[in-house]
Structure 1
Amino acid sequence: MNVRSFRLSDYMPATELLKASLSEECCEKTLAALARQLKLEGELVVVAELEEDSEVKIVGVAIGTIDSNNGYYYRLAVHPDYRSQGIGKALVQKLEQKFQQRQVRNIMIAADEHTEVVLPWFEQLGYGAQHVLRSLKKLRIVTG
């Protein structure tokens, strides 16, 4: 397995992976976030690739971001056929290295309704409740 920074040629395979790995709503949000992060700092998007039958496949994607000197794991996706093989852990470790190179103050998990399910997995990697930033729900203002 090779974990590396995202390349432009990864866009279509990464999009297909996200579609296979995430719910439709989560995938839409993630694709929008991917586009934003690639504009801001593409180095914080990493992919995991495996070679199978002389073909290199992208099997995992992680999107990180930095805000106010804090590093955030925004989204992590591993293709369902390749889960429980250490790919997610390798993606997290690669992003962690990138955050450390940028000397961020804290590394956090950006949690929303789509990532709540993976928080126990992050705990196994040493990230506790103090590392979780939950999204705030946007309220609609009604004027009368």
Structure 2
Amino acid sequence: MYVRSFQLSDYAEVTQLMENSLSEQCFHDSMEAFARQLSWDSSLVMIAESEGTIVGVVIGTIDNNDGYYYRLAVDPFHRRKGVGKAMIQALQERFVERKVNRILVPVDAHNEPVLPVFESLGFDMNSFTKAFKKLSIVAGT
């Protein structure tokens, strides 16, 4: 398994992965945000690939010089194998390269189940925020 930047040719496979991995409401919310993030800065979308198949995606964004992990999705058959952690760390490196002030994880009903993954990587209560506008309305930076 390796993590790389999103490529336009990944769009259909990532869409299918998100539809299979997220709740219906989360999928619909995330697709709008995903499209907007791709138009602003696709380098903040990271893909995990295993044996030629996309098994995970993490969508990040930067707003007011803060980096945010917007959505993390891992194929159900590849969970608990380090896929999410690898993508989180790869996106964190991107945020560090961009010299963001801080890196935050927005907490909503869709992200709550993955918070333990972030905590296992050293994120703490100061890293989680409920004061986050939907990515679909945040101005791209």
TM-score normalised over the length of structure 1? 0.89
Runs of 4 or more consecutive aligned structure 1 residues displaced over 4 Å after TM superposition: 135-138
AA aligned opposite 1:10: D
SS of 1:75's equivalent in the other structure is strand
The equivalent residue for 1:142 is none
Cα offset for 1:121?
2.2
User: How many Å separate the matches in 2 of 1:119 and 1:49?
Assistant: 22
Deviation for aligned residue 1:120: 2.2
Return 5+ residue gaps in structure 1 as ranges: 139-144
Greater relative contact order (CA < 8 Å, ≥ 6 in sequence): 2
Could you report, residue by residue, the CA deviation over 1:63-97 in whole angstroms, capped at 9, with x for unpaired residues? 00001110000000000000011100000011000
| Percentage of identical aligned residues | 51
Larger Rg: 1
Within 1, Cα distance between the matches of 2:132 and 2:41? 24
Q: How many residues align?
A: 134
Is the 1:112–1:135 Cα contact (8 Å) retained in structure 2? no
TM-score by structure 2 length?
0.91
Match of 1:46 in 2: 46
CA distance in 2, matches of 1:120, 1:85: 14
**In the alignment, which residue of structure 2 is the partner of 1:80?**
76
Structure 1, residues 30-57: CA drift from partner, whole Å, max 9, x if none?
Answer: 1111001000100000100011xxxx10
**Match among 120, 127, 130 for residue 126 of structure 2:** 130
Structure 1 position 59 matched with structure 2 position 55: yes
Displacement of 1:137:
9.1
What residue number does 1:18 align with?
18
